[in-house]
Amino acid sequence: MESIPQDSIFEFNPDTLLYLRKQYDLDKPGRIEEAINILEEWIQKQNHFVVKEFPRDYLERSIIISKGSVERAKKKLDKICMFRTTLPHFFEEFDVKNCELLDDMYGSFLPKLTKDHYRLYFFKGKAKTIKSGMLDCYRHFFMQCEYIQAHDYCNGIVAVVDYTEANLLELLKWFNAVDLREAIAIIKEGYGLRIKGIHLVSASKAIEAVVAIFKQVLSPKLAGRLHVHKTMDEIGKYIDKDIIPADYGGNEKSLLELHKKNIDVLTSDDFTAHLKRMRQACTNEKLRLSTNEADQYLGISGSFRTLSVD
């Protein structure tokens, strides 16, 4: 089994790739290559896709994220391309290095995986006042999702949102349920990220209002994975302390250090060029096939089946 190429942000467990492929019956010789070939052939038939060429390792990650189902991977790719067309404000280029909002509200996917191959996302919200909306926070997060798609192999994500220093009453002024609903759709349906848990940390009573907004937009299943803690100390029973940032009692670099490195990588020439290519991977909805024809290609008229019966 080949190893996963190391990149400048993420690290992997020694058995990550083998575990993920085996979990979805993709470990047999030629299996993943066959799945990628099927996906590539399908993409070429999509009249409404503006871009029809994707790196094979990008398609492999799409299949793994889709639990080994080529049909789910088709739907995921169609959705993310559609979202870039229908919700373009989330994907617009912005000056992430000089974004004032990100000085007080920033997050990063952590370098190390959990023992069961989940990627942790830590977000620090310490803003006392907010002068404008939080759209740039979403844009920064989706830049990181593009990085996940281009470089990461993981079993899903666990999010920790630290509001212990935030003025939640100020935050609530800008907490838009519509934006949050659209962002969750992009995360779940477009990027296909599987969310194992969301942990909100705050001792403020205003956290109840934040939770109420989250529950408006989350599915019942995902809402059941939403946890509230008064202190960061309570997170320890959910997450291995060894892989969390030093400022949270772990052995990793501080979250601010990770954030700064994250910004450097996201603004590198190579990744900037990748983002530019991916922004072009949208749809022309006028060329989309009729519902019946689309069902035939997407595979949504039947159950989501695995590669063996696609």
Residues 104 and 212 both lie in one domain:
yes
User: Tokens standing for 279?
Assistant: 């922004």
Residue 247 lies in a domain: yes
Residues 253 and 285 both lie in one domain:
no
Residues 255 and 118 both lie in one domain:
yes
Residues 222 and 154 both lie in one domain:
yes
Residue 204: give its domain's CATH number: 3.40.525.10
pLDDT of residue 291: 54
Residue 303 lies in a domain: yes
Residues 191 and 111 both lie in one domain:
yes
Residues 103 and 217 both lie in one domain:
yes
pLDDT of residue 302: 31
Residue 6 lies in a domain: no
- Whether the full predicted model's pTM is greater than 0.85, yes or no, is yes
Weakly modelled stretches of the chain, pLDDT under 50: 1-3, 292-310
C-alpha to C-alpha distance for 59 and 40, rounded to whole angstroms: 8
Inter-residue contact 177 to 216 (CB < 8 Å): yes
pLDDT of residue 241: 82
Max Cα-Cα span within the chain = 56
Residue 298 lies in a domain: yes
Residues 142 and 251 both lie in one domain:
yes
Residues 254 and 290 both lie in one domain:
no
What is the four-CA torsion angle of 185, 186, 188, 194, rounded to 10 degrees?
A: -150
pLDDT of residue 232: 87
Residues 257 and 196 both lie in one domain:
yes
pLDDT of residue 294: 41
pLDDT of residue 131: 66
Inter-residue contact 119 to 154 (CB < 8 Å): yes
Local structure of residue 104 (DSSP, 8 states): T
pLDDT of residue 299: 41
Domain that holds residue 168: 98-270
Residues 256 and 117 both lie in one domain:
yes
Residue 4 lies in a domain: no
Tell me the C-alpha to C-alpha distance, in Å, between residue 36 and each of 42, 64, 146, 296.
10, 11, 19, 18
Residues 148 and 285 both lie in one domain:
no
How many structural domains is the chain composed of? 2
Residue 220 lies in a domain: yes
Inter-residue contact 248 to 238 (CB < 8 Å): no
- Angle (nearest 5°) at CA 162 between 204 and 169: 40
Residue 93 lies in a domain: no
